[in-house]
Amino acid sequence: MSARSDAGLRRAVSPLELFFDLTFVFALRQLAEHLHAELSWRGAAETAVMLVAVLSTWVLTSFDATFLDITRPRTQGLVLAVMGLGLFMNAQIPHAFAARPWAFTVPLVAILLLTGATAALTTSVAVLRSHYHRVLVWAAVSIPLWLVGAAADPGSRLVWWAGAAAVDLAGTWLRHPLPGRVFPSRHFVFDAEHMVERIRLFLILQLGETVLTIGSAISDAPVDVPTTAAAFGVFVALVCLWATYFLGGEKIVTRQIAITADPMRSVHRAVNGLYGTLTGLVIGAVGSELVIGHATGPGSAQVGLLLCGGPILYLAAQAWWYYVTTGRAWVARLLACGACAAAGVAARWLPPLVSVLILDVVLVVLVVVLTRVHRQVVEALDAGGGDRRGG
CB atoms within 10 A of CB 96: 26
One pLDDT digit (tens) per residue for the chain, 391 residues: 334 334 446 778 899 999 999 998 899 999 999 999 999 999 999 999 999 999 999 999 999 998 888 889 999 999 999 999 999 999 999 999 999 999 999 999 999 999 999 999 988 888 889 999 999 999 999 999 999 999 999 889 999 999 999 999 999 999 999 988 888 777 677 788 889 999 999 999 999 999 998 999 899 888 899 999 999 999 999 999 999 999 999 999 988 888 888 888 889 999 999 999 999 999 999 999 999 998 898 989 999 999 999 999 999 999 999 999 889 999 999 999 999 999 999 999 999 999 999 999 999 999 999 999 999 999 888 887 544 443 3
Amino acid at 226: P
Amino acid at 223: V
Q: Is residue 344 a contact partner of residue 366, using CB atoms and an 8 Å limit? A: no
Helix boundaries (H) for 38-177: 41-67, 73-91, 101-122, 126-151, 154-174
Q: Is residue 173 a contact partner of residue 248, using CB atoms and an 8 Å limit? A: no
